[in-house]
């Protein structure tokens, strides 16, 4: 009898191992950002999170090629433009979650429930503190004025972050005014566009230009390495519609094998428990308003968001790219 019970217990244990739940994530976020989160989730729930990292383009191409055979349950990536594109290409499925509806503000998630923001970043104005006073700054549009001729630095238009900014401007002030602004930016460039935000911010610090536009976390990383750099942050458009914000976020894949498990993981990532782990490690803002901002990020001050739904960044992305091309923004 004892042997029979022991055998039964062993079989039960083996069965439990064989059927241990797992969730598979395709992630355009780096391993060092996501692994601590997934380790914490496994510790709390026992669910094993397997992940594949890569650039968003190849990951989406892989999802498309794999079709119904994909092992991926979740696509995790940066920028609403990429999330919108994934949904538009039929790679994600709509899900309903009261938890996510509460934790993620409406303007930071897909109206159809196909993806949800998990951290917030602002794309705003930075300036050389030796050459510019905050009172001289006001808005993205103002950087197109003649007073900034030969003083502006920008990252290339090829990066989705600038495409999303211009798309959101189109939604906010219309395509005609936006094109006028972008042409003004091009006229005011101090030098060729930069391949990334960090190099552009370093150019501001070096005095190569007076002002530029970048994502907040690049500024945070740079200042952490060298706090004495003469770079200041200015919240754009506070007298108008607010500073452009964007998200990193996630959606459940169309052919997810573990849809319920995928939803539970995304819900957990939006929870108070996980949000600081998720946002603070990259100097971003938590999407969940109940969560305190990292002290380093909090020092930059409060600001008014632009509350246009970030999905517009994706909807208008193709038009934004055409507009920037017409304006000579390379």
Ranking 225-234, 258-267, 273-282 by mean pLDDT, the lowest is 273-282
Separation between Cα atoms, residue 319 and residue 269, nearest integer Å: 32
pTM of the model: 0.91
Separation between Cα atoms, residue 264 and residue 286, nearest integer Å: 18
Q: What are phi and psi of 295, to 5 degrees?
A: -55, -35
List the one residue out of 224, 230, 215, 123 whose CA is nearest residue 169. Answer: 123
List the one residue out of 46, 34, 86 whose CA is nearest residue 261. Answer: 46
What mean pLDDT do residues 245-261 have?
A: 98
Q: pLDDT digits over 161-207, tens only?
A: 999 999 999 999 999 999 999 999 999 999 999 999 999 999 999 99
Q: What are phi and psi of 13, to 5 degrees?
A: -65, -45
For residue 120, how many C-alpha atoms fall within 13 Å in the half-sphere facing its CB?
29
- Among residues of the chain, what percentage have pLDDT more than 90? 91
Please report where in the chains the tokens 């109940």 appear, as a residue.
290
Separation between Cα atoms, residue 251 and residue 241, nearest integer Å: 28
Q: If pLDDT is split at 50, 70 and 90, which confidence band does 16 have?
A: very low
Q: pLDDT digits over 278-312, tens only?
A: 888 889 999 999 999 999 999 999 999 999 999 99
> Mean pLDDT across the chain, nearest whole number?
94
219 CA to centre of own chain: 15
What mean pLDDT do residues 258-265 have?
A: 98
Separation between Cα atoms, residue 266 and residue 261, nearest integer Å: 9
Cβ neighbours around 54 below 10 Å, total: 14
Beta bridge partners of 48: 22
What mean pLDDT do residues 206-226 have?
A: 97
Domains of the chain: 20-120+246-295 (3.40.190.10), 121-244+312-326 (3.40.190.10)
């Amino acid at each position: 009898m004892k042997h029979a019970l022991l055998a039964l217990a062993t079989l039960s244990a083996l069965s439990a191992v064989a059927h241990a739940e797992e969730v598979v994530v395709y992630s355009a976020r780096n391993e060092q950002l996501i692994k601590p989160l997934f380790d914490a989730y496994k510790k709390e729930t026992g669910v094993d999170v397997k992940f594949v990292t890569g650039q968003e383009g190849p990951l989406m191409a892989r999802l498309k090629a794999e079709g119904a055979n994909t092992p991926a349950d979740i696509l995790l990536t940066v920028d609403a433009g990429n999330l919108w594109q994934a949904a538009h290409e039929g790679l994600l499925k709509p899900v309903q979650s009261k938890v996510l509806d509460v934790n993620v503000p409406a303007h930071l998630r897909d109206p159809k429930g196909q993806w949800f923001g998990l951290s917030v970043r602002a794309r705003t104005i930075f300036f050389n503190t030796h050459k510019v006073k905050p009172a001289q700054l006001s808005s993205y549009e103002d950087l197109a004025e003649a007073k900034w001729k030969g003083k502006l630095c920008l990252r290339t238009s090829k990066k989705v972050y600038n495409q999303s900014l211009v798309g959101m401007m189109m939604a906010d002030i219309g395509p005609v005014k936006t094109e006028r602004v972008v042409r003004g930016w091009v006229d005011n460039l101090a030098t060729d566009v930069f391949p990334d935000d960090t190099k552009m911010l370093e150019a501001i610090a070096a005095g190569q230009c007076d002002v530029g536009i970048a994502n907040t976390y690049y500024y945070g990383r740079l200042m952490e390495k060298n706090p004495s750099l003469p770079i200041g942050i200015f919240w754009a458009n506070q007298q108008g519609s607010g500073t452009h914000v964007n998200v990193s976020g996630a959606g459940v894949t169309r052919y997810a094998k573990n849809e319920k498990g995928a939803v539970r993981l995304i819900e957990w990532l939006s929870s108070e428990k996980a949000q600081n782990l998720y946002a603070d490690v990259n100097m971003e803002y938590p999407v969940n308003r109940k969560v305190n901002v990292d002290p380093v990020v909090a020092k930059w001050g409060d600001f008014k968001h632009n509350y246009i739904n970030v999905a517009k960044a994706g909807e208008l992305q193709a038009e934004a790219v055409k507009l920037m091309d017409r304006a000579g923004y390379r």
